[in-house]
Amino acid sequence: MIKRRSLGALAAAAAIPMGAPAVRAQPAENTLRWFSDTEPANMSPYFNSTREGVIFGFHVWDAPLYRNTQTGEYEMHLAESVRVVDDTTIELRIREGIVAHNGDTVDARDVVATVEFALNSENQVTNLGRTRWLSGAELVDNRTVRLRTPAPFGPWQEYLTTLLVIPRASLAGGRESMGREPIGTGPYRVSEISPGQRIVFERFDRYFGGAKGQAEIQRLIFRRVPEANTRIAELLTGGVDWVWRVSPDQARNLQRRRGVTVISGGTVRFHYLQMDSAGRTGRENNPMMDIRVRRAINHAIDREGIVRNLVGEGSDPLHTPCHPDQFGCVQDGITRYEYNPQRARELLAEAGFPNGFSVDMAAYRERPWGEAIIGNLRAVGITANLQWSQYDAFQRATREGQVRLAYGSWGSTSLFDVANSTSYFFRGSPDDINRDPEVMALLERGDNATDPAARREAYTAAMQRITEQAFWAPLWTFPLTYAHNAQLQFTPTADEVPRFYTARWNR
């Protein structure tokens, strides 16, 4: 069913055709070509954690619930009804007539099989986020399944939208087969994987619809193009229909081109500076342990200027360690640090650093903005040396307490709740470099409460404490900019997942 090109090396080298460049796909062919900078190595949503993989997941597979991108409401999708049985049990009744891409019928047995597969460590699942909140699943009858959680779990509805169900036939093949011959139930089926060349998705005509509805576009072609200029050049020459992660400067210039539409969409991603207030990198001579230094750094950064000039449209300066759109990300009563280099210098002098100091700044993405921060810090006398590394090395250094100043970015797993942002960073996990007992207690209270008002109250106190102590220098929210063929109707969503099954070509 899926074409795979893995000919012998020489044979394939000879097979690369002579002749004119490939015929350009046209809107008339109802095909959409999209390029991105990375490619999931394994197609299966349980074996990759890339953003592109999440997008594939939405197009090829389905979950019991679906979050309406306009209203934010949870809608029934694979499930036709959901019932909370008790604190730790949720019962799903699966819709009838769901057909997998290989023709099999999908029902509650596939839900159980998926959960059991993901929880069994022998299967070496790497994307654990989809099932880590579950302890098991049991079959009631062929259309009914009960999911068990180890403890009462507040955001279960949100997590039911990420529990993608894999048909049993596919699960039987394990990691490699699931990656090579993905079978789902979604609006698109994978029709071709040419490693390193392209991945082709065909509209699945027996799709059950559900909350996603039927797709319009017949064929999606994905290709990984690592270099941003190359992607833009392809867009301008008609070699691709849709790209994203367009930089603000490129966006500004692209806007002037005919035939190209540029749009920015908000996300719940934000950028921040973490400071080693707990002195994990050494207590001696560690300026970050001094609240005046942390406040000085907060005052030194020209958030407005950087947002206006570099980060671009759709971004806002940030003063909390969470995205304002997230539940519990209270903006009232917090301490705000306006841009004031003079004040920053005074604070540094008070702290005993009239001539500033030198510090390493770890970072792994959005380097030009990091450089702008370095420039801001330099203006108040702090010499920050960029320590650029790849994500794993950055993360490891943070977790092992080797980082004094870190410039990071957090996508909150696209969830609209501070339980996935502030609590992630301040509740004493290995990623918490501040380790403040007061904040930890407040967040724990907020996370474990089920009453929204009680949660909000606890989070308010936490936000006040964090900003007052200047544990972080929150920077700005992160917008995502898309550029596409002007004939394409495309609506961005706040969760960083483009939905091509709702896109269509203007005829």
Partner 1 sequence: MLRFALRRLLLALVVGIAVSAIAFMLLRISGDLAIALAGEDASPADVERIREQYGLNRPVIVQYGEWLWNAVRGDLGRSLFYPESVANLIMTRLPVTLTLSAMGLVIALLIALPLGIIAALKRNTWIDRAALGIAVMGQAMPNFWFGLLMIFLFGLALGWLPVSGSETIWHFIMPAVTLGWFSAPVLMRLTRGGMVEVMTSDYIRTAHAKGLPVRVVVLKHALRNAIIPVVALCSVQFGNMLSGSVVTETVFALQGIGYLAWEAISRRDFPVVQGILLLVALFYVVLTLIADLLNAWLDPRIRRG
Partner 2 sequence: MARPTDQAGLTDMSDITTNQPVMPPLKKRRGKVLGNSGLIVASVVLGAIVLMAIFAPLFAPHDPYTQVLDDRLIPPFFIDPEFSDPRYPLGTDNLGRDYLSRLIYGARISLLIGFLTALVSGVIGTVLGVAAGYFGGRVDTVVSFLITTRLSLPVVMVALAVVAIAGGSLQVVVLVLGLLLWDRFAVVMRSATMQLRNQEYVAAAQAVGCSTPRVLVGEILPNLIPALVVVASYEMAQAILLEAALSFLGLGVQPPLPSWGLMVAEAKEFMLFDPWMIILPGVAICVLVLAINLLGDGIRDATAPEGRT
Quick note: the x/- pattern for partner 2 over 349-378, rule CB under 8 A, is: ------------------xx-xxx-xxx-x
Residue 438: CB minimum distance to partner 1, A: 22
Please identify, using beta-carbon distances, which residue of 195 and 305 lies nearer to partner 1: 195
**Residue labelled with tokens 């966006």:** 251
Q: Which does 434 bind (CB under 5 to 8 A by kind): partner 2, partner 1, none?
A: none
CB of 461 to partner 1, least distance (A): 24
Per the structure block, which two tokens stand in for 165?
A: 């169900």
**Residues 61, 118: Cα–Cα separation, whole Å:** 15
Interface residues toward partner 1, by CB under 8 A = 5-10, 12-13, 15-22, 41-43, 47-50, 121-122, 124-129, 132, 175-180, 195-197, 223-227, 229-230, 233-234, 236-237, 239, 390-393, 395-396, 399, 411, 413, 424, 429-431
Binding mask 280-309 for partner 2 (x = CB under 8 A): ----------------------x--xx-xx
Q: Are strands 270-275 and 472-477 parallel, antiparallel or unpaired?
A: antiparallel
228 binds, among partner 1, partner 2, none (CB under 5 to 8 A by kind): partner 2
Residues 6+ apart with CB under 8 A from 278: 289, 433, 434, 435, 436
Q: Which does 149 bind (CB under 5 to 8 A by kind): partner 2, partner 1, none?
A: none
If the CB atoms of residues 291 and 310 are measured against partner 2, the closer one turns out to be 310
Contact (CB, 8 A) for 204 and 219: no
Min dist. Cβ of residue 226 to partner 1 (A): 5
Q: What is the b/e burial string over 64-93, where b = at least 16 CB atoms within 10 angstroms of the residue's CB?
A: bbbbeeeeeebebbbbeebeeeeeeebbbb
Q: Give the SS3 label for residue 485.
A: strand
The nearest distance, CB 43 to partner 1, in angstroms, is 8
CA 478 from chain center: how many Å?
A: 11
With 0-12 / 13-18 / 19 or more C-beta atoms within 10 angstroms meaning exposed / middle / buried, residue 211 is middle
Contact 176, 189 (CB under 8 A): no
For the record, the structure tokens of 262 come out as: 């540029």
Shortest gap between Cβ of 306 and partner 2 (angstroms)? 7
Look at residue 129 and give the partner it binds from partner 2, partner 1, none, a contact being a CB closer than 5 to 8 Å depending on partner kind. partner 1
259 is an interface residue for partner 2 by CB under 8 A: no
Give the integer Cα–Cα distance in Å for 187 and 100.
Answer: 10
Least spacing, CB of residue 316 vs partner 2, in Å = 17
Instruction: Name the DSSP letter for residue 311.
Output: I
- Residue 336 Cβ vs partner 2, minimum distance, rounded to whole Å: 20
Could you tell me the smallest distance in angstroms from the CB atom of residue 312 to partner 2?
12
- Does residue 385 interact with partner 2 by CB under 8 A? yes
Is 38 an interacting residue with respect to partner 2 (CB under 8 A)?
Answer: no
Amino acid sitting at position 397 = A
Least distance to partner 2 from the beta carbon of 368, Å?
A: 6
Beta bridge partners of 94: 79
Three-class secondary structure of residue 386 per DSSP: strand
Nearer to partner 1, 130 or 189 (CB): 130
* Separation CA 202–CA 43 (nearest Å): 15
Phi-psi region of 124 (alpha: psi -120 to 50; beta: other; left: phi over 0): left
In the list 121, 229, 285, 506, the residue contacting partner 2 (rule: CB under 8 A) is 229
Residue 302 or residue 436: which is nearer to partner 2 going by CB?
A: 302
Q: Which entry of partner 1, partner 2, none binds 151, CB below 5 to 8 A by partner kind? A: none
User: Is-contact 491 507, C-beta < 8 A?
Assistant: no
- Check binding of 402 to partner 2 (CB under 8 A): no
- 393 touching partner 2, by CB under 8 A: yes
Closest approach, Cβ 249 to partner 2, in A, equals 6
- Letters for 77-116 (x = contact with partner 2 by CB under 8 A, - = none) are ----------------------------------------
Angle between helices 291-300 and 367-379 (to 10 degrees): 110
Check if the beta carbon of residue 399 is closer than 8 Å to that of residue 424.
no
Measure the CA–CA gap between 196 and 184, rounded to whole angstroms. Answer: 22
- The candidate with the shortest Cα–Cα distance to 62, out of 40, 95, 31, is 95
Which residue ranges make up the site for partner 2 (CB under 8 A)? 228-229, 232-233, 236, 247, 249-250, 253, 302, 305-306, 308-310, 367-368, 370-372, 374-376, 378-379, 385-390, 393
